[in-house]
Structure formats: structure tokens, C-alpha cells
Structure 1
């Protein structure tokens, strides 16, 4: 019953899709797979996620995965989805300063998830730099809705997945990558588009400060009665309904985006451009996450952490440089022979 009620809420919730009904097609999962899975034909990432681990990060079947976690317990938090940073030059109900604060709140929220992931990674390895079997196992499958998940791999990917969710929503919920409808005048029902590629300098989660957005940057105002023109507190404002590019078909291997399912997504190549931006951004965040691990833990430990986070069998795939047992025995025998020779030499001299 809880799953059914959650699914009904998600049908109306504003974001790239997490479920496969109500017009959604698991868009978050498919973006994440196209960006970071080892099966992606377009991935240029040197470090990709193996199948079982990707299942947890991206979700599968009825499981939300780490990237879908904010749609289970942060649905009412606009900072988790980069909503409510709406502004239009001229006479507008919300000031530009307030819109910038809302965008900053989003970036700081995602930075907190990003940093929590970096912190959780410390428990992947023991004091000798070896993976800890109990911390890297994915059996049983991790549960991203358990924020106190005790396994380090689960906790690290859960935090990173939440950050991915927000940065992907940024491209759907804002005008960063899209264009306005050229057949209609610019207004709250047809805000300007910036048509910029990803990744965006506004989403530097490894940094400590957020740069100012372009003058015409906007996301959408969201209330449950999401419509054009806006209702309630979103009256006379740019709404999520007017701006989002949440729905459509995405090939999880190539990332090709087709059949946009929202009005703004159907303008020009807006849906495809939003998906391309989200894929590029997801790859950038994974590169930055690896950099963050290196900065915190050093190159050797970070390399083993990345292996543990991406491999399905870290215990066997990600051990540190070990001297083979035969070599250890041989070295011990050689050392013993030398000592024996030296002892005999001393006795004979």
C-alpha cells in the first residue's frame, strides 16, 4: 500500500521520472546509466559502474536506487530538485535576490550530499588500505531510503546518488539548456532560454562558493497544483509546468532522447538538450567525486575506494598491491640462508 501511494504521488511530482507510469519512463535511471554504466556506448569515463552496482546507483524494476531516493523522502524540499529559483526581468512577484538565494540553497543542499558521500567512503578501507568485506558487500541490496545504512559502499553511493538527482533536475527544471518558444512572446508562460551545454559552472559541488547565475536564468515555481498560469503562491510566476522537460524516452545505453512529453520539452530540441546536459553533468560530478576522494585520502587509497564503489566484487577485485605468498616464503628462506652463512663464517674466522 505504501508503494502504491508513493507511486501516485510521484505521478504528479515534478522531476525527471523515477517510475514507469503516469507519463514517466524512469528518466533518472536512464540518464544515470547512459552517463556512468560500463555498458554505455557513449561513456568516455575511464571508470564506470559494473551492472549490480549500477542497479543500486540508478535503480531498477521497482527499486528507486540512490539517484531516485529524493523522490521517496525529499519530495517536498525544493532544494533537492532546484525548484523555486524563478525570476523574469521587469515587474515580477519574486526578486532576483530571492531567486538567487533559492538557487544557492539547491547548490548547498547538493554539496552536503556530495560531501557526505566523500566522508562515508573512509570506512571502505581498513588501516592497511584493504577493502573491508562487510563494508563493500551489496548483498542484500542496499536500501537508499535508509539514511543510516551501515555499509560504507551503500552510504557513499546513496549520498552521491542524491547529488546526481539534483544536478540532473537542474537541467530539466531550469532554462540553462533550453530555448523559448519562438512563436510566442517572452513571459511567465514562455520564459527565455539560455541554450547552454552542460556541465554548468553553477553546479561546482566540489567547491565552496556558488558563482552568480546569468541574468535571465530561472527555474520554475512549484506547488501541487502545478499549472500554467500559476496558482497559489506561484500565481503570475514562471511555473514548473511552464518550464520542465521531465518526460520522454531515453536510451539507457546511448543517451538518445526522443518523444518529449511536456510542452517546453517539445520546443526545438529542448528535451534532448536537457538530457544531454544532465548526462554531461553526471559524468562531471563523478570525476569531481573521484578528485574529492584523492584530495581527502591520497591517490593510493582513493584508487582502491573508487574500485570498491564501482566493482560488483570489490573484495576480490580491489585488494591493494600484495606480495605473492610464494615470494614472501622465498624471501624468508633466502634471508635465513644468508643469516646461516654469516653465522658459519663468524665461527670459522
Structure 2
């Protein structure tokens, strides 16, 4: 994908973004299984058509919007919900420190989500019509500050938010279970076995999220090892807790063949993927709700259409007409009234002829 290619990280720090190095484009496949028009079942409330989906999810060697944090934010723990680790009893990091790290992640993702809502406004002109230059995808999106098209910048911001919420399910113990054959500790933290979507990931909100007791993510540093090194020594590590890699069906979200230690415990990898798919669909619904709150129902419907359709100038034309300063509905009403008057006049003439 033009402008969105980058060297793969030296070690997987999230669901995979590329093919190779044990990664299998897991972020792309999760995103497609969640919101692509080819997903089974198809997501309610609108789905992303193929070219628009490519910009959001990536394709081939392209990172896409959802993979962009692995290019430019690879060392930012807030972008991946890392370093929010804690265990009860003699742990080298306090619960307060872990809670702060997790809230930093939520704050970061809220900012990305808000950027998507704000950026979407430029998809329409003042009269509520889709702006062709802002939605044109003849050339792939250039992820980063050089990109000027509103559709690309809104999708990038939303993709960055999706990356973080997907990582939350891989990098935390929210959905998973511990290995029952080993003692609980830094190399085998307890699992919470909770469902998605997570109440923590309220990206439309502004309140301080409540962190449940026992929640932990992993400490990340290179080299990433189950037994922590350097700042991660004696801590729950990303290597010990992540469920980043395996095979995922991009239509159904079915997950199999996990390749990480925690992912291989029970069905932990499948749990993490299922949670990420559900959360991605939930955040798409949340984005549409946020657009309605910011711009009203009619403009929000057009904005969602412009984000998801490959030729929104044509494909969203009927919605364009319905929201274009009310002119088309007014013309329609006038035509109906004129037709009714003509019919009445004709009926009156026929009655007079009959009376004569």
C-alpha cells in the first residue's frame, strides 16, 4: 500500500501486522472479520467495501490504518496497552502504577477516536454533499502527516484506535485463563475470563475507567522474554501473556494454531481473537453514535456512507439529495402537490361533462 509500507518490527509487539516472523497479518484479519462486507455474519449498521476496507485493514505487505501503530508508535506502550502489569503480593510494581498505565492507554485511544470523529467532518461540504476530492481512493492512503484526504485521515485515526483495543485482548488477561498445570505467578498470571466488549474501553466517554481487581497486561522490552529482563525483570512480561499470533479466518474470525505460550493454553488465542472482533464491531457502532452526536443523524448517515463506500459520491447520492439543504425533499413535495391539483382539475372537468 503506497506510503504505508514500513520495516516490520524486530519483534512482534501486538497482534501481527505483516506476514513473516511468526506474524500472519492478525490485525488485518480481525478487522476484516469484524467490519468488512465479506464478513460472516455481515456487521449490522453498515460495512466497509473492498477498497475502503483495504485502507482501514491493510492488504498484503501494507500496514493499513489498523497496523500503523506498529510503524510509528511501536515504542509507545499506551498505543498497545502494554506495561499495565501487577500481581498481588510482593510485586515490583504497585497497583497504582499499573492502573495509571492502563488509563494512559484508554486516554490515548480516546484521543485517536476523537480525531476520527473530528476529521470526518471534512468529508462533506456546507450543504451536506460528499466532497469528491476528500474521498477519492484512486491512490492508496498515505499514512502520516503528508496525507490530506479527509477519508484517509479519519480512517487512520480510527484504525489506530482499533489497533489499541484489539491489542488489549491479546496483551491483557481480560478474556483468558491461566495454565492450570503451573503455579500462579509472573510467568503464569491469573486469567479473568471476561467477555467482550470491555467496559474499560469506553472511547466515547471522558470519565476515569474503573480497573477490575486482578487485571494485568504485560511489560514489554526488547528482548521480549517470558522471564523478564532489564526493566521487566520479575514482572509479568508481554512474552508471557500475549496471544498475538496464530491463524485467523478473515471472513468468520475463527482462530486456530496459536504460536505463543499463553495463546496455547486452552482456547486463549481464540478467546482473544473473538474479543477483539466483538470489540472492533462495537467501536464501529460507537463511532457512528459519536458522529450522530456531533453532526446530527442525517449528516452522520452520510459520513458513515462516505467512510465505508468505495465510490461515495455516486453510491451515497440519494443520501446527498436527502440532506442537501432540504431542496430535493421540497421539490418532491411540490411535484406531488402539482400532481394532486392536476388530478383534481381533471376529475372536476369529468364531473361537469357528466352533469351536462
- Structures share fold, TM-score greater than 0.5: yes
Is residue 22–residue 245 contact of structure 2 (8 Å, CA) maintained in 1? yes
Three-state SS of the structure 2 residue aligned to 1:75 is: coil
Q: Check if 1:239 corresponds to 2:237.
A: yes
Distance change in 2, residues 1:62/1:5 (3 Å)? closer
* Distance in structure 1 (CA, Å) of the matches to 2:44 and 2:83: 33
For 1:113 and 1:55, the matched residues in 2 are separated by 19
Number of corresponding residues: 329
Q: Look up the match of 1:169.
A: 167
Could you say which residue in structure 2 is the equivalent of 1:69? 68
> Which residue does 1:184 correspond to in 2?
182
Asked if structure 1 preserves the Cα contact closer than 8 Å seen for 2:6 and 2:71, the reply is no
In the alignment, which residue of structure 1 is the partner of 2:34?
35
Q: Which residue is 2:81 aligned to?
A: 82
- Contact 1:36/1:48 (<8 A) preserved: yes
The answer to whether residue 310 in structure 2 is matched with residue 312 in structure 1 is: yes
Shift of 1:4: 9.4
Q: Distance in 2 between matches of 1:64 and 1:231?
A: 29
Q: Secondary structure at the match of 1:190?
A: coil
> Please, what TM-score do these two structures have when normalized by structure 1?
0.90
Flag as ranges the 4+ runs of structure 1 deviating above 6 A: 2-5
Deviations 1:134-158 (Å, cap 9, x if unpaired)? 11111211122x2342111111100
Q: Following TM superposition, by how much is the alpha carbon of 1:45 offset from its aligned partner in structure 2, in angstroms?
A: 2.0
User: In the alignment, which residue of structure 1 is the partner of 2:112?
Assistant: 113
Q: What is the deviation of 1:3?
A: 9.5
Q: Which runs of 5+ in 2 are unaligned?
A: 343-356
Q: CA deviation at 1:6?
A: 1.6
Alignment deviations for residues 218-240 of structure 1 (CA, whole Å, 9 cap, x no partner): 00000011112100000000000
Offset at 1:210?
3.3
Displacement, 1:85? 0.1
Check whether the contact 2:103–2:209 (CA below 8 A) recurs between aligned residues. no
Contact 2:4–2:64 at 8 Å: present in 1 too?
A: no
The CA deviation string for residues 238-259 of structure 1, in whole angstroms up to 9 with x for no partner, is 0001000000000000100000
SS at match of 2:88: coil
Answer yes or no: is the 8 Å Cα contact 2:15–2:26 preserved in 1: yes
Mapped contact 2:242–2:260 kept (Cα < 8 A): yes
Q: Deviations over 1:253-285 (max 9, x none)?
A: 010000001010000100000000000000010
**Is 1:6 the equivalent of 2:7?**
yes
Structure 1 residues 306 and 4: CA distance shift in structure 2, 3 A: closer
Aligned to 2:274, which of 276, 282, 293? 276
Contact 2:115 2:157 in 1 (8 A): yes
TM-score (norm 2): 0.89
Per-residue CA deviation, residues 174-201 of structure 1 (Å, 9 max, x unaligned), is: 0001000000000000000001111100
Cα separation, 1, equivalents of 2:258 and 2:151: 35
Task: Supply the RMSD in Å over aligned alpha carbons.
Answer: 2.1
CA distance in 2, matches of 1:172, 1:297: 34
**Contact 1:19–1:25 (Cα < 8 Å) also in 2:** yes
Residue in structure 1 matched with residue 252 of structure 2 by the alignment:
254
Q: Which residue of 1 aligns with 2:321?
A: 321
Instruction: Tell me the equivalent position of 2:214.
Output: 216
> Alpha-carbon deviations, 1:108-158, whole Å to 9, x = none?
0000000001000110101110101111111211122x2342111111100
* Cα distance in 1 for residues equivalent to 2:228 and 2:153: 38
